[in-house]
Structures are given as structure tokens and as C-alpha cells.
Structure 1
Amino acid sequence: MQPAAIYALKPNVTQEEAVRILQPRGLLRLLAPSQRNLLRHVADVYVPYRLYQARLEGMSGKAPAQTRLFAQDAVQGTLDLFEFPRIPGKEELLRLETRNLLEPGLEESRGQTLLAEKVLRIVFQQGFFRVREPKIDLERIPLDFHMPYWLGFYGADGALNCRVLDAVRRRMEGAKARALFEHWLAA
């Protein structure tokens, strides 16, 4: 695969920090000499995201409609949403060339269905009893960009596992993200 030029949100985790975060800690550190727990390699990987403006109505009685910005992964729509206070500007994006990127695979209509479900779930979590007749209108913002992640590879040759670090939110990701990246690596 040839390197592709992309725009990515600037990471909040450097490679050095990623190595430190992904190193085994506590009891795992004591077991690190076992091949299973040994950090072999760290790599930056980029996931395509689509930005949407969500107009939310019927959220609490006669309250005015809310407008919020959400970014959804364009691969499967399974990763956690990102919410933005405003459309990311050029100063928040980094242009780079990389081979480590996933390809978009999510159809627009399916993506909007998944996004509406996730946004509704967020609304319910923030105050279920205030929601009357929720209505969500989604509008795609013409800004596609990538989100940076750090992958940590563990184990012996032929039996590698990975852990995923969100390089923007500085948090470890769970099984959905791990499965997405392991599928990409196996392809």
C-alpha cells in the first residue's frame, strides 16, 4: 500500500507517552517476562471519521432545539462518537502521509441510522425523563478527517494481541476498537 495524504486531528499523546501508557503495570509488569505480556511494538494508526451536525428537538418540554456536532467513524460506525463544540479548524488538523490508515466502509445511510441511535442514547443518558418526543435531524458537514490511535502489540510471534489507545482523548479503548483493528491487521 502506498502512503496516503490525510488530515488528522492533532494527537494529545506522543509516541513516548503511548509507550509508557501501554507498558504493563502492577501485577502484569511482574508477569511481563512472559511472552504474552511483553510490549513488542507501538504504531500510530488513523481511522476516517465523518462530521455531522445533529439538531435535537423535543428534548425537554418547550425548550428550544439543540444543535450538536458529532464525528462518527466511517469504517463500521462502531467506535465511540466524538463530540465537538465547533467544527475543527485548520489549526486543529495535521496533514500527514501514512500507510497506517483504515479505509471507509460504512455506507452513508447506514451510518446515519447508527449515528441517530447513538445520539439518542446519549440524550437519554443525560436526562431520560426530560425527553418528550425526540426528533433528530442529521446533516453531514463536508469535513472528513482521521482520528489518531496508538496500537500496542503484545505476545510472541504468531500470537500477537493488541491494545488500543485513543490518541486524542488519552484513554484506552475496549473490545470493539480492538476487534476493528485486529480485523484490519488480518486483512
Structure 2
Amino acid sequence: MTPAAPASSPATEIHALRPAVTRDDALRTFGGGLMGTARSLALGPLRSIADLYVPLDVFRVRVTRGARRETELLGIDRVTGALDLYRFDDEPGGDAVVTVTTRNAIGRALPDAIVRDRLQTRVARMLFQRSGFFGVRAGAIAIEARVAELYVPYWVGFFGRGDEARIVVIDAVRRRVEGPKARRLVYRWLMESR
């Protein structure tokens, strides 16, 4: 099985979060066991697998609620700003980050101001879900410094019969199959890279 990188993409050296899912792990997830059999019946056989890297910016975010102040390190994707946020205990670095040379790195599409705005909105939504309307006040959320620009590794499985192709996406750090937001992001990148 060969990766499906766009032929025109030059190889780029990037810094990515260390994957917890190897290629063999991804192959087992895509095609093994009861879920793999069900997936093959529904989508067609697994044709190929490819690694893919999505840009992620990590920000220090300060949340003030009354006298209580919390600081969190949150990562947001730089393509749509819609994928699930990453939460870090410490600034990512050292053994948590690897250098990779790849043709499958998606470019940073969103301007910095939009990324910060989307992160602010997403944090406000999280606070609202936790504590209701009065949990979020004006000025309660401050997007402070960007502490890292990294990539998140994903595995993309290509399934199908004949000319039909469908994909399944695995977050290689969180070890989970992703939903429609990640699939749309990958489809869009593949179409734009042709």
C-alpha cells in the first residue's frame, strides 16, 4: 500500500507531535477485527494508507472567573480552526516533538487574527458549557502568547471499490478515529492538491 501524496508537493521538514499510533497500528485499526471487517463491508476494501500532518498553533490562554485565574495551553488547527482543541500540561517540546520530512503537510491557511478569534470563541463555548451564561464575562478570556507552531500527525485510510474512494482518519496522537470535520479537511486538501 502506497501513500497518496500529491505528486507536485515538495518534501518539507516539519516539527510534529510524537505519534502514539504507528503505521502497523493504523493498518490494524483500519482493517483488523470486527470494526475493520464492518468498515470494509460498508466502505470497500482498504486500498492504501498515508500519513498526513495538520498545522497546530499552541497558545497560552488565561481565563479569569471572579478571583480565580487559570492558565491553560491550548492548541488549535491552522487550517479551519474547527478540529478538536488540544490541551497540554506543559509547552510541547523535547521527547514530545519529532522532526519529520514529508510531502503530506497541510499549509497554515488561517491568518493569525482569525485563529485567535476562533480560539477565543471556542474557549468561551467551553466555559459556557461548564458554568452557564454567567461563567463567561467580557474580558474573562485572554489569548496570550503563542508558545509553539507544530503539526499533528494523522493516518488516512483510503477505502473503496472501482472508482469510488472513501476515507477514514485516525488522530495518531490521541489514538482515535476522527469524525466528519477531519474527513472534510482531508478531502478539501486532496482536491486542492491535485
Q: TM-score, normalised by structure 1?
A: 0.89
| Counterpart position of 1:170 | 175
* Cα distance change on mapping 1:101 and 1:64 into 2, 3 Å: same
1:23 aligns with 2:27: no
Letter in 2 for 1:6: I
- Is the 2:128–2:136 Cα contact (8 Å) retained in structure 1? no
Identity of aligned residues (%): 33
| Counterpart position of 1:108 | 112
Tell me, in whole angstroms, the C-alpha distance in 2 between the residues paired with 1:65 and 1:31: 46
| Counterpart position of 1:5 | 13
Secondary structure of the structure 1 residue equivalent to 2:57? strand
Q: TM-score, normalised by structure 2?
A: 0.86
Deviations 1:100-123 (A, max 9, x none): 110000011111111111111222
| Counterpart position of 1:123 | 127
* Cα distance change on mapping 1:27 and 1:89 into 2, 3 Å: closer
1:23-172 superposed matches below 5 A: 23=31, 26=34, 29=37, 32=40, 36-58=43-65, 62-128=66-132, 131=135, 133=137, 135-172=140-177
Deviations 1:65-96 (A, max 9, x none): 11001001011111111010110122210011
Q: Which runs of 5+ in 1 are unaligned?
A: none
Tell me, in whole angstroms, the C-alpha distance in 1 between the residues paired with 2:91 and 2:36: 41
- Is the 2:44–2:160 Cα contact (8 Å) retained in structure 1? yes
Secondary structure of the structure 1 residue equivalent to 2:101? strand
* Further displaced range: 38-47 or 154-163: 154-163
* Further displaced range: 127-136 or 8-17: 127-136
Secondary structure of the structure 1 residue equivalent to 2:164? coil
RMSD of the TM alignment (CA)? 2.1
Deviations 1:149-168 (A, max 9, x none): 01010003432111110001
